Amino acid sequence: MGEQTSSVAEAALAALVHLKEDIEGALLDTAEGINEYRIRHLSRKQGQITALLKRIPDVAPEDRKRFGLEINAAKDRVEARIEEATAAITGAGTASAASVDLTLPGRTQAQGSLHPITQARRLITRVFENYGFDVAEGPEIEDDWHNFSALNFPPDHPARDMQDTFFIEEPGTEHDGILLRTHTSPVQIRIMEEAMKEGEPPIRVIVPGRVYRNEAISYKSYCLFHQVEGLYVDEGVTMADLKQILHAFARTMFGEDVRMRFRPSFFPFTEPSAEVDIWWKDEDLPGGGRWMEILGCGMVDPNVLEGVGIDSEKYTGYAFGMGIERIAMLRYGIEDIRTLYENDVRFLEQFS
């Protein structure tokens, strides 16, 4: 029995010697070879290190400590060789990359740019921020109250028809009149509601965002577009204040010599209301140009103020709204609104 135990112990010691030889003799010059080396020695299921650790009980008690220490030393050596070989391979790759001929001409990186709608939106926002307006946003999916009723639209107004509005839930269903907003004015209602929860006006804010209308797509109209709404409510706000801020805006966008005119109009949520035109020079037209509409505006209707709890006897306000696409097309000389949504790189490269 003693002889059998002795032979088992000798076999374990011999396996340790063989392991050390294999550790030092293996050639590690490829990533695949390194991985195989790692599995052969360090795998928990079939690795040689693991196998030797299981044979510690076969060694004589007085030799077990030394045997275990040598196995741990062998494991450290395996890990060191793997690290050295990996570093050598990585270093070879770096050296290869560094050997590139730096005297050859480089490749020019393509330069991106902001979309013209984004450029126009940022410029419009910056103009009104300089005059103390805050910037707010709101949901694109709205309800009938915020999109129509609170803005003084009568029940039979054409804008409520499915021919003009994208309804998600039609009027009369469980979720009555859920729709894709047709303008950014609903955000003004939400802002005034929140203001009355916290106190009272003044309110001075612009609301940029995307809106949707069920319109035929052509060179001048699209089923989605972007607007910027403006709202100012305080004591003593007048139409003169509205005209002053819009004149300042037009001078920034179209030059100090811009010509403007205000035409009487009608919007359900403002009274009086006006449309604003600028004179667009074009030598090919009779008279050297034409008037072009850029936005609508007016004094906030008292019914709208009262609907959100604002005392219309104490406070007045003005509101205005414009299409960002219209401003971008005028500013950059774009004749077809569809080109803004086609993502043609040749078109977008012009705005680099």
- Specify whether 21 is located in the same domain as 149: no
**Residue 56 domain-assigned?**
yes
Domain residues for the domain of 50 are 2-98
What's the mean pLDDT in 6-31? 78
What is the band of 319 on the pLDDT scale with cuts at 50, 70, 90? very high
**DSSP structural state of residue 285:** S
96 has a pLDDT exceeding 60:
no
Q: According to the model, what pLDDT value does residue 246 have?
A: 95
- Specify whether 6 is located in the same domain as 73: yes
What's the mean pLDDT in 318-330? 93
Let me know: does 319 contact 268? Beta carbons within 8 Å: no
4 has a pLDDT exceeding 60:
no
- Specify whether 207 is located in the same domain as 294: yes
Cα–Cα dist 300/185, whole Å: 11
Helix (H) or strand (E) holding 188: helix 185-198
What is the band of 174 on the pLDDT scale with cuts at 50, 70, 90? low
Which of the pair, 39 or 243, is modelled with greater confidence?
243
What's the mean pLDDT in 340-351? 86
What is the band of 209 on the pLDDT scale with cuts at 50, 70, 90? very high
Buried b (16+ CB within 10 A) or exposed e, 299-309: bbbbebbebbe
8 has a pLDDT exceeding 70:
no
Which of the pair, 154 or 248, is modelled with greater confidence?
248
Among 62-76, 91-105, 315-329, the range with the most confident prediction by mean pLDDT is 315-329
What's the mean pLDDT in 289-316? 93
Which of the pair, 149 or 176, is modelled with greater confidence?
149
133 has a pLDDT exceeding 90:
yes
Q: According to the model, what pLDDT value does residue 189 have?
A: 93
**Residue 104 domain-assigned?**
no
Q: According to the model, what pLDDT value does residue 17 have?
A: 80
Among 7-21, 38-52, 161-175, the range with the most confident prediction by mean pLDDT is 38-52
Among the ranges given (109-113, 321-325, 348-352), the one the predictor scored with the smallest mean pLDDT:
109-113
Q: According to the model, what pLDDT value does residue 1 have?
A: 46
Q: According to the model, what pLDDT value does residue 191 have?
A: 93
Q: According to the model, what pLDDT value does residue 29 have?
A: 81
- Specify whether 225 is located in the same domain as 312: yes
Cα dihedral 189, 194, 200, 203, rounded to 10, equals -60
Cα–Cα dist 195/350, whole Å: 43
CATH of the domain at 250: 3.30.930.10
What is the band of 235 on the pLDDT scale with cuts at 50, 70, 90? very high
What is the band of 164 on the pLDDT scale with cuts at 50, 70, 90? confident
Let me know: does 341 contact 258? Beta carbons within 8 Å: no
What is the band of 346 on the pLDDT scale with cuts at 50, 70, 90? confident
**Residue 103 domain-assigned?**
no
What's the mean pLDDT in 297-316? 94
If you average pLDDT over every residue of the chain, what do you get?
85
- Specify whether 72 is located in the same domain as 157: no
What is the band of 122 on the pLDDT scale with cuts at 50, 70, 90? very high
User: Quick one: what percent of the chain has pLDDT higher than 90?
Assistant: 41
- Specify whether 159 is located in the same domain as 11: no
92 has a pLDDT exceeding 60:
no
Among 48, 70, 98, give the residue marking a domain's end.
98
**DSSP structural state of residue 176:** T
Among 72, 98, 124, give the residue marking a domain's end.
98
What is the band of 176 on the pLDDT scale with cuts at 50, 70, 90? low
Q: Which of 323, 325, 319 lies closest to 185, judged by CA?
A: 319
What is the band of 85 on the pLDDT scale with cuts at 50, 70, 90? confident
For residue 300, give the 3-state DSSP assignment.
Answer: strand
Q: According to the model, what pLDDT value does residue 34 have?
A: 85
Q: Count up the domains in the chain and report the number.
A: 2
- Specify whether 94 is located in the same domain as 219: no
As a three-state string, the secondary structure of 99-154 is CCCCCCCCCCCCCCCCCHHHHHHHHHHHHHHCCCCEECCCCCEEEHHHHCHHHCCC
- Specify whether 149 is located in the same domain as 91: no
- Specify whether 198 is located in the same domain as 305: yes
Among 69, 98, 127, give the residue marking a domain's end.
98
